[in-house]
Amino acid sequence: MGPMAMNRLPWLSRVLPVAAIAAAAGVVPGLLLAATAGHHVMIATSAHVAVVGAAGALAAGAATGMSVMAARVNDGRAVLLGMAFSVMATMLVVHALATPGVWLGENGLMQLAGALNIPAGATILAASALPALQRPRDARTLLWIQLALVAALVAAGTLALGGAIDVPEVPRPAGGAARVLFLLGAGALALLAWRAGRTYLLTRRLSDLFVTVGLVWLIAGQYGLLHHEMMDAAWWAAHALEVAGVGLVGIPAALDIRYAVASRPLVGDLAPVHLVADEEAFLGGRVRALMMRLADKDPSTEDHTRRVATLAVQIGEELGLPERRLRLLALGGLLHDIGKLAVPDDILKKPARLSDDEFAVIRRHPAWGRELLAELGGFAPLVLRLVESHHERLDADGYPHRQPASALELEIRILTVADAYDALTDERIYRPAWSPSSAFELLVRETGSAFDSRCVTALRRVLARSAPPQPSRTVGEQLRSPAPREASR
């Protein structure tokens, strides 16, 4: 569905593809639960202790290891992911140890631990969408919270096992409390599946598809555990779905962490190009995959975004921006054109002047970029504003929202100057490159109307240090170049 159709049916065009993925992912667990429903099995209770307990113990160890790796690269969301899995795994071990007929008699602890482990993990996983956890000041604090939480669960589980016979069997399978608990846990998992599905449709990475499938399988596993009893074959099938779901979600996340690079603290002599490289390395597998897909779609964009990010940081340094704002500026520069993923190739790569309708589509890419990053989650509000507003002008004649100068922060004004200058001096399929001096002359002419004078002056100082003066545009260059409207699409 193209952008024109998306404008007519935006809600439907966003929901249907993800719904189709979720429906396909639910076929296997749906058939499995349907095939086993109503059938009873006689499996030795010791097998439940051995298999489920061992799986829970291994998962707890793996989850803790993942959190340790994530803390080393200061990735708070990944630590939270490990925390969710370790909580689920610990409760799964308690669930296994409370199996009646091995060490204990009939008790309600097994049902309680089995019913709560997925909703508890889902609640923690849902918190990973919080922007503050994208880059906390110290993810190791979250790691210590995780260890304390697991220790508390172990202590509580040990005490509960000692008095398990007194624990009531709640929630009752298929009862009202079980339905409420299912809706709460499934709701949190469905939100995560929505985000993962949207990400897969953009990145086309199999690992993102596996995460979406895994989340759907966890919902199915939670349903089976809450609506069936131990003698039901569907109850055992639900255990298999739970373990498989944890693997499908956790393994891709662990691989992303493994290949990530820690973001170094900004120091006084850290060059802008290194700062940009740090921010790019910290983006994570999903966003890097989006950038790679954009590079395949429009090869000129990949180097352009890095150059714009570096130039914006250099201008920001000239204007005395503090460390945190420089990092956000670098990140906004790297991602500012990500919305071009939604622009059709026949418009983005057109080697001629765009029609008014085609240019109207191009003008949507900043808003599409913000929408994409907001759905992925974890980006600071300033980064979203940088992506959305990098084509706005001081005279409110920019796009996509014609924002007035009072709404444009200094970082946005910096990025606008850096983007325009680099786009003009870069050769594009629809025009040759302008000389640096010609591009700068255009910025000077439009200072006050489009561009901030402080940013243009700072750019002059940056250029004076980095390159010798270039001749102005020739007459032939002027004739071949497009009108300023799309000189920097």
The alpha carbon of 52 is separated from its chain's Cα centroid by a whole number of angstroms, namely 31
Task: State whether 204 and 303 are in the same domain.
Answer: no
Looking at the DSSP bridge assignments, the partners of residue 428 are 431
Q: Three-state SS across 232-301?
A: EHHHHHHHHHHHHHHHHHHHHHHHHHHCCCCCCCCCCCCCHHHHHHHHHHHCCHHHHHHHHHHHHHCHHH
Q: Which residues span the domain enclosing 132?
A: 16-258
How far is the C-alpha of 99 from the C-alpha of 46, rounded, in Å? 8
Within a domain: 266? no
Task: State whether 305 and 253 are in the same domain.
Answer: no
Within a domain: 10? no
| Mean pLDDT in residue range 118-132 | 80
Number of domains in the chain: 2
Q: Which two tokens stand for residue 322?
A: 């503090």
Within a domain: 6? no
Within a domain: 110? yes
Task: State whether 393 and 465 are in the same domain.
Answer: yes
Within a domain: 9? no
Within a domain: 5? no
pLDDT score, position 420: 95
Within a domain: 1? no
Query: Which of 258, 285, 315 marks a domain boundary?
Result: 258
Query: Which of 214, 234, 258 marks a domain boundary?
Result: 258
Task: State whether 194 and 288 are in the same domain.
Answer: no
At 398-451, the pLDDT tens digits run 999 999 999 999 999 999 999 999 999 988 877 888 999 999 999 999 999 999
Check if the beta carbon of residue 391 is closer than 8 Å to that of residue 359: no
Supply the pTM of this predicted model.
0.64
Residues 6+ apart with CB under 8 A from 345: 297
Query: Which of 198, 224, 258 marks a domain boundary?
Result: 258
Task: State whether 351 and 449 are in the same domain.
Answer: yes
Task: State whether 210 and 284 are in the same domain.
Answer: no
Reported as a pLDDT band with limits 50, 70 and 90, residue 20 is very high
Task: State whether 246 and 285 are in the same domain.
Answer: no
Task: State whether 420 and 314 are in the same domain.
Answer: yes
Task: State whether 209 and 291 are in the same domain.
Answer: no
Reported as a pLDDT band with limits 50, 70 and 90, residue 480 is very low
CATH assignment of the domain containing 323: 1.10.3210.10
At 286-324, the pLDDT tens digits run 677 778 888 888 887 878 988 999 999 999 989 988 877
